[in-house]
Amino acid sequence: METIHRIRDKFIPEPLPAPGTFQGRTVVVTGGTSGLGLAAAVHFVSLGAHVIITCRDPSRGESARLEIEKRTRADAVEMMVLDMTRYSSCCSFVDELSKRRPQGVDAVVLNAGVSKTHHDVSPEGWEETIQVNALCTTLLGLLLLPWLKKQTASSTPHMVFVASRDHLDPDITSWAPWGDDGAGILRRLSDRAHVSWPSGAESSTDSPNYAASKLLLMYAVEEITKLALDSEGQPKVIVNSVCPGLVHTNIARDISSHSWQMKLAVNLFFATLGKSADYGSRFYVAATQTTADEHGKFIVSLYSDDEYRKKAIPNMTSDAGKATRVLVWKEIIAELVANVPGLQATLNEI
């Protein structure tokens, strides 16, 4: 059934909202220099928004800014530097954003992510997939949340976490014991010895920590969704996670870079079932249009709401899933508070 839905999504796009829907609004898209992020920025600008994109490399960011404006209109895009492998960069970005936009922004799409096939360690000491997709994305959400909650605009701001249906795949039965053995779940997943990584020049089409990193993120989003509520249980910020589906972008560049055979296999797979970045990024736009009643919803085209609820039972809503979420959240908060000055005060403010 998923294959059928993927083929459908490849040829039948998610509709965009009416022209001018984002007129006068500001949208932040992290990782906006290529692929889904760039395509989403084009959509938002075309619909009237002023867009802020982020990048690690200022020259790439400037090239992307010019490309987006060339395809849409002038003076509609800003570029800001953000290195998702460093906590300090996340803090600097949020600080600078709040200075540039003291009145706030209307939506933040936390799109930046990686899919690594080889074990690379971030400057913070974590495997990069865990660092970028889980730890730093969560940190951005926590840093942005109190600022967004203070906004007084007529419409409720949105925070969108780019997730994946792959969070349904990990077998979490081994995770709970890791949480009790002193090392912790995150450290076990980050440790090369506990995850099956290719060695040396060996090639692989697998990103061993991608699905796990997206499950860690989904656990964090569940908690951030609760933190976004006011004293009466209403969302001050509408939080959603979204899966754009299988998209033919350079997210798999690390997979296809090892050999021509791997590049051919990856390109054939994505060419057959993958939708374009234009089509995939439309789900980002949809996620910024949700209502308060949809707060916390996972936006995905592969499943109906009932289908997703059933598939999410093992990892998300079962007793084991809930217990694992508590353990993971405790570890994430402990790591971030220990290494991000002032974060505890920010959490107290939320």
Q: Is 180 exposed, middle or buried (0-12, 13-18, 19+ CB in 10 A)?
A: exposed
Question: Which three-class secondary structure state does DSSP give residue 273?
Answer: helix
Calpha distance 70→65 (Å, rounded): 9
Calpha distance 143→108 (Å, rounded): 12
Given the residues 10, 87, 116, 210, the one annotated as active site = 210
Helical axes 319-339 vs 137-149, angle rounded to 10°: 80
Q: How far is CA 256 from the centre of its chain?
A: 22
Given the residues 149, 214, 236, 275, the one annotated as active site = 214
Q: Per the structure block, which two tokens stand in for 335?
A: 């790591």
Rounded-to-10 torsion of CA 184, 228, 40, 244: 50
Distance from first CA to last CA of the chain, Å, rounded?
Answer: 41
- DSSP lists the bridge partners of residue 110 as 161
What amino acid is encoded at 183 in this protein?
A
Q: CB atoms < 10 A from the CB of 230, how many?
A: 10
* DSSP for 252-265, written as a single string: GHHHHTS-HHHHHH
Catalytic residue status for 149 = no
Calpha distance 347→350 (Å, rounded): 5
* DSSP for 166-189, written as a single string: GGG---GGGHHHHHHSSS-HHHHH
Q: How far is CA 325 from CA 182, 248, 332, in A?
A: 17, 31, 10
Catalytic residue status for 214 = yes
Calpha distance 50→200 (Å, rounded): 45
Catalytic residues: 210, 214
